[in-house]
Amino acid sequence: DSGVTQTPKHLITATGQRVTLRCSPRSGDLSVYWYQQSLDQGLQFLIHYYNGEERAKGNILERFSAQQFPDLHSELNLSSLELGDSALYFCASSGLAGGLYNEQFFGPGTRLTVL
Amino acid sequence: AQSVTQPDIHITVSEGASLELRCNYSYGATPYLFWYVQSPGQGLQLLLKYFSGDTLVQGIKGFEAEFKRSQSSFNLRKPSVHWSDAAEYFCAVGALVTGNQFYFGTGTSLTVIP
């Protein structure tokens, strides 16, 4: 158990809909990262938040957005969903803003299926 | 640009045999390298990491990896594989320039046969 929690575990929705994925980092971790894992794209970095502020953006679509709240939990919002958005979405947390010396601890993921 | 290549999509080994998973990276500065393992239905777990110093690093579950700057490689090894090692293995490079963004390889799926 990494200490990172993600809800829900599974999510099934239809095209055009909007969903929210939630992540709670390990106690004390200020950084939250979101990744998308799909069969054709592999594990892709989406976005990084540190203590409520966006720090880095990766391959995140404009239809996707994220935020980190004062209690440090984070939400990833996916809108106008398409079939291709079906994937496993991981959240990870680490202790420092830009320090690479801390590993990223991954949650169990949310499996999103768009029908 | 930073990138990680895992040339072997799938590897099958017999239980008790040795294992080497290949990883090559492309990064302009000193790389920070990681190996993660993902068991079916699970998140990623860190096996080991390299930041500096001794180029041979030891990890959990009996794994080790060797950093070779001249070959831009960070191969993962285990002398004797157990059936429970069957999983997906990911190599990653950390990029300080973009706030600790990780670049992952596409993964190597390991099958262990009895």
3-state secondary structure chain A: CCCCEEECCEEEECCCCCEEEEEECCCCCCEEEEEEEECCCEEEEEEEEECCEEEEECCCCCCEEEEECCCCCEEEEECCCCHHHCEEEEEEEECCCCCCCCCCEECCCEEEEEC
Distances (CA, A) of B62 to A53, A98, A105, B40, B74: 38, 30, 20, 20, 16
Distance CA B28, CA B31 (A): 8
> pLDDT averaged over chain B?
90
Supply the pLDDT for residue B99.
56
Higher pLDDT, B82 or B96: B82
Q: Which of B88, B100, B108, B109 to mutate to test the interface with A (most CBs of A within 10 A)?
A: B100
Supply the pLDDT for residue B40.
83
Supply the pLDDT for residue A101.
52
- For chain A, residues with pLDDT lower than 70 are 96-102
Distance CA B90, CA B65 (A): 13
Distance spanning both ends of chain A, measured CA to CA? 31
Supply the pLDDT for residue B54.
87
Percent of the residues in chain B that have a pLDDT greater than 90, as a whole number: 70
Task: State how far Cα A1 lies from the chain centre.
Answer: 18
Supply the pLDDT for residue B74.
96
Supply the pLDDT for residue A57.
86
Owner of token pair 């809909």: A17
Q: Is B94 on the interface with A (CB under 8 A)?
A: yes
Give the pairing type, strands A110-114 and A10-13.
Answer: parallel
- pLDDT surpassing 70 at residue B97: no
CB B11 within 8 A of CB B74: no
Q: Which residues of B75-102 are buried (b: 16+ CB within 10 A; e: fewer)?
A: bbebeebeeebbbbbbbbbbbeebbbbb
Supply the pLDDT for residue B43.
85
Confidence at B21, pLDDT banded by 50, 70, 90? very high
- pLDDT surpassing 70 at residue B98: no
Q: Do B46 and A107 touch (CB under 8 A)?
A: no
**AA identity, residue B70:** S
Nearest-Cα distance to chain A for B26, in Å, is 16
CB atoms within 10 A of CB A57: 14
Supply the pLDDT for residue A102.
66
Supply the pLDDT for residue B24.
95
- Over residues B23-47, the pLDDT tens digits come to 999 877 777 899 999 998 788 999 9
Higher pLDDT, B3 or B37: B37
Neighboring chain B residues of A50 at a CB cutoff of 8 Å: 99
Supply the pLDDT for residue B23.
97
Q: Do B100 and A108 touch (CB under 8 A)?
A: no
